[in-house]
Structure 1
Amino acid sequence: MPREAEVSVNEREFIYQALQENIRLDGRALDVFRPLELTFGDEYGVADVQLGKTRVIARISADVTAPLPERKFDGIFQIITEFSPMASPAFEVGRPTDAEVILSRILEKAIRRSNALDTESLCIIAGLKCFALRADVHIVDHDGGLIDASCIAVMAALQHFRRPDVIVEGEKATILSAREREPIPLSILHQPLCVTFSYYEDGDIFLVDANLAEEQVRQGEVIVTMNRHGEVCQVAKYGGATVDPLALLNCTNVALEKVKELSKYIQNRLEEDAKKKDAGGLMAELSAENDR
């Protein structure tokens, strides 16, 4: 099975020695993210996230289907992850790695199980028809920080997405096109985001947003998922070394500050994209027809 190219013994020792002196290879402070870029596609529900050299694209799609028998008043929402072989030599199509399994579990708990999306708002006719939302997460470039970048991509794409409007007459539902009626944004209850802490020296040193080389030499990781209101959605730990409770509490405090910054950045990018679409989109077209 293909494997990721591992760091050499000399590189490992160099990274450890630098961290003991509070120095990272790219010059960042221990609690600083790499440069983040978020762009949206021309169609609603496509978010492209670049975190340093890591790149993740999330796409939201919607279909009309029958709801699950045990949840007649809810729509359906699922998250699918896809690791492209061009992102890393360790990824193969059809053979999920440990990283892919962990990413799927974390996103499932962080976004779907925390009820970030109001699935009841996706119901069209109870027990008969509902919207089935699917979030496809494509890993395009892998240089560490996949969980944080993927969570940002999915949440940004969900807030950017617009579902078609529906007219319901009895048990008949008519789906309206974007030209017939403006699509409707999703009902987002809260915005959970992940912050991954990599730890070294038996938990004495914690890093935010480790790159691939730093990830390969870490003892373990702690993933804190919370929203900007300080509500913790999940805490996950992977790796053998134990973590001191006070260090874990400090991680949640750092995570809250990072989540507030990320939430503000996402909101600003959404507002910029909305202005750009309004400038040359459907509203401009309608106003031009009225002028004529």
Structure 2
Amino acid sequence: MPREAEISINERDFIKQALQEQIRLDGRTLDAFRKLELTFGEEYGVADVQLGKTRVIARISIDVTTPLPERKFDGVFHIVAEFSPMASPAFEIGRPTAAEVILSRILEKAIRRSNALDTESLCIIAGIKCFALRADVHIIDHDGGLIDASCIAVMAALQHFRRPDVLIEGEKATVLSVRERDPIPLSILHQPLCVTFSYFPEGELYLVDANLAEEQVRQGEVIITMNRHGEICQIAKYGGATVNPLALLQCTNVALQKVKEMSKFIQQKLDEDAKQRDAGGLMAELSAENAR
């Protein structure tokens, strides 16, 4: 099975020694994220996130289906992660790695199970028709921080997406095109974001947004998911190293600060994109629809 290219013993020792002296190889402080970039596609619901050299693209698609028998008043929402072999030699199509399984579980708990999206708003006719929403996460380049970047991409794409409006006549539902009626934003109840802390027992160090080399050296990781209101959605720990409860509490305080900064950044990019689309008006939107 393909494996990630591991760093040498000398590099491991060098990174550990530098961290004990509170120094990171790229010059960041221990609680600093790499440069974050967020762009949106011409089509609604496409978000391209770059966190340092890590790149993730999330795309939202929608279809009409029958609701689940046990949830007649809810729509369907799925998150699917796809690891491209060009992102890392450790990724292979059809053979999910441990990183892929962990990413899928974290995104599932962080976004879907925390009810970030109001699935009742996706219901068209109770028990008969509903919208099925799917978020595809494509890993384009891997240099660490996949969970944080993927969560940002999915949440930004959900907020950017617009679903078609529906005309309901009795038990008949007609999905309207962009020409007939303006598409509708999704009902987002809150915006959970992930902050991953890499743990190093030597000196009780906790790093934010570790790159790939730092991830290969760490002894464990703690993933904290919360929204900008300070509500914790989940805390996940991987790795065999024990974690000090007081240190974990400090990590939640740092995570809240980072989540507020990222939420503000995402909203700023959404506003910029909305202004850019409004500048073209409806004709620009229709021409883009025709081009697609």
User: Does the pair score TM above 0.5?
Assistant: yes
* 1:69 corresponds to 2:79: no
8 Å contact kept, 2:117–2:187? yes
8 Å contact kept, 1:202–1:219? no
Alignment match, 1:86 = 86
Within 5 Å, which residues of 2 pair with 1:250-269?
250-269=250-269
SS of 1:280's partner is helix
**CA apart distance, 1:281:** 3.6
8 Å contact kept, 1:203–1:243? no
Query: Normalization by structure 2: what TM-score?
Result: 0.97
8 Å contact kept, 1:59–1:135? yes
Alignment match, 2:107 = 107
8 Å contact kept, 1:197–1:207? yes
**CA apart distance, 1:39:** 0.1
Give the distance between the partners of 2:21 and 2:281, measured in 1 at CA: 53
Change (3 A) 1:99 1:284: closer
8 Å contact kept, 2:228–2:256? yes
Within 5 Å, which residues of 2 pair with 1:1-292?
1-201=1-201, 204-282=204-282
8 Å contact kept, 2:20–2:202? no
**CA apart distance, 1:173:** 0.2
Give the distance between the partners of 1:201 and 1:122, measured in 2 at CA: 46
Residue 279 of structure 1 aligns to which amino acid in structure 2?
A
Give the distance between the partners of 2:47 and 2:155, measured in 1 at CA: 9
Q: Give aligned-pair identity as a percent.
A: 85
Query: Normalization by structure 1: what TM-score?
Result: 0.97
SS of 2:214's partner is helix
8 Å contact kept, 2:80–2:104? yes
Provide, for residues 248-270 of structure 1, a one-character-per-residue CA deviation record: whole Å limited to 9, x for no partner: 00000000000000000000000
8 Å contact kept, 2:82–2:138? yes
8 Å contact kept, 2:48–2:57? yes
**CA apart distance, 1:202:** 5.3
Gaps of 5+ in 1: 287-292
8 Å contact kept, 2:53–2:143? yes
**CA apart distance, 1:189:** 0.1
Compute the RMSD of aligned alpha carbons.
1.1
8 Å contact kept, 1:145–1:210? yes
Residue 157 of structure 1 aligns to which amino acid in structure 2?
A
How many residues are matched? 286
**CA apart distance, 1:282:** 1.3
Provide, for residues 90-127 of structure 1, a one-character-per-residue CA deviation record: whole Å limited to 9, x for no partner: 00000000000000000000000000000000000000
Residue 6 of structure 1 aligns to which amino acid in structure 2?
E
Residue 85 of structure 1 aligns to which amino acid in structure 2?
P
Provide, for residues 177-206 of structure 1, a one-character-per-residue CA deviation record: whole Å limited to 9, x for no partner: 011100000000000000000010257000
Change (3 A) 1:194 1:229: same
8 Å contact kept, 2:224–2:234? yes
SS of 1:55's partner is strand
Alignment match, 2:289 = none
8 Å contact kept, 1:191–1:228? yes
Give the distance between the partners of 2:134 and 2:50, measured in 1 at CA: 21
Gaps of 5+ in 2: 287-292
Give the distance between the partners of 1:151 and 1:215, measured in 2 at CA: 18
8 Å contact kept, 2:30–2:208? yes
Residue 69 of structure 1 aligns to which amino acid in structure 2?
P
8 Å contact kept, 1:144–1:210? yes
**CA apart distance, 1:285:** 7.5
8 Å contact kept, 1:58–1:137? yes
